[in-house]
Amino acid sequence: DWNRQSNAIFASARARQLYGLSPGPDTTPRDQWFAQVQLHPDDIAPRRAAVEAHVAGKTPLYEFEYRVLHPDGRYRWVRARGLCVRDRTGQPLRMAGSVSDIDARRRAEEERRTSEQALRVSEERFALAVAGSLFATRMRAQIDQQIEDTLVAEARMAADLIYDHSEDLEPALRRSTELMVSELDRFETLLNDLLEISRHDAGVAELSVESEDLRSVVESALDNVGHLANDAGVDLMTRIAPRMGFA
């Protein structure tokens, strides 16, 4: 609650906790309040603009989601809602509102966006690999192992560098790094297969018959899409025969 006449902020014990503050007085001068509450730099200007717009009567309700720094060094998401109370002439007297914890929801949304982005990257890589296969077929014998090494080595070097420092990243970025490395492994395998096909089409390689356990193929596919199913709340159920020895 912001009393514009006294320019003081009233905050309950729960509100102080959500803002990362230790227990203290219910009422605090507004300047002192914002000296204690540390907002994320990217949220300061938009939050101020949302408040000013509502006080000026440009919006029917003040509502904004932003990040607040807590003593443990992490930013946590909160949602503030407020309504400007005015006198008979329409002049603002105070801003009454509430604050709620939305950190879990916002982090889940970020995780879902990361997964969706990883899926889009995988699709783009697949399209690129298919286009590369067509090009490789036309070029035939001009394609050799050096092209494969050049394409994969640079991407692998960058991915490994990021992955080696993933412990220093936020959870969402760490998860994105893990997905990137996993997708790069799939891309490398697919590229090897496509280059092998192009070499066969060019007459410089021969195909041979090999036995393949389809259970491994199914298990690999489930590993690749399992996290997407979990994010969507979908339970994947499989029925695979037990492994048997081959003569």
Q: Residue 141's pLDDT is what? A: 45
Banded model confidence at residue 189, pLDDT cuts 50, 70, 90 = confident
Q: What is the three-class DSSP state of 67?
A: strand
Q: Which helix (H) or strand (E) holds 197?
A: helix 171-201
Quote the tokens at residue 57: 């009567």
Q: Residue 131's pLDDT is what? A: 65
Is pLDDT above 80 for 191?
Answer: no
Is pLDDT above 50 for 246?
Answer: no
Give the mean model confidence (pLDDT) for residues 183-200.
Answer: 70
Give one DSSP letter per residue of 152-180, joined into a string: HHHHHHHHHHHHHTGGGS-HHHHHHHHHH
* Cα–Cα distance, 58 to 60 (Å, whole number): 7
pLDDT tens-digit map of 84-100: 998 888 888 898 989 99
Residue of 14 and 207 predicted with greater confidence: 14
Q: What is the three-class DSSP state of 79?
A: strand
- Write the DSSP symbol of residue 243: P
pLDDT tens-digit map of 149-185: 555 565 666 666 666 666 666 776 666 666 666 776 7
Is pLDDT above 60 for 148?
Answer: no
Residue closest to 211 by CA, chosen among 172, 164, 245: 245
Residue of 58 and 219 predicted with greater confidence: 58
Is pLDDT above 90 for 74?
Answer: yes
Residue 67 backbone phi and psi in degrees, to 5: -105, 140
Q: Angle, nearest 10°, between helix axes 145-164 and 171-201?
A: 170
Q: Which helix (H) or strand (E) holds 138?
A: helix 103-139
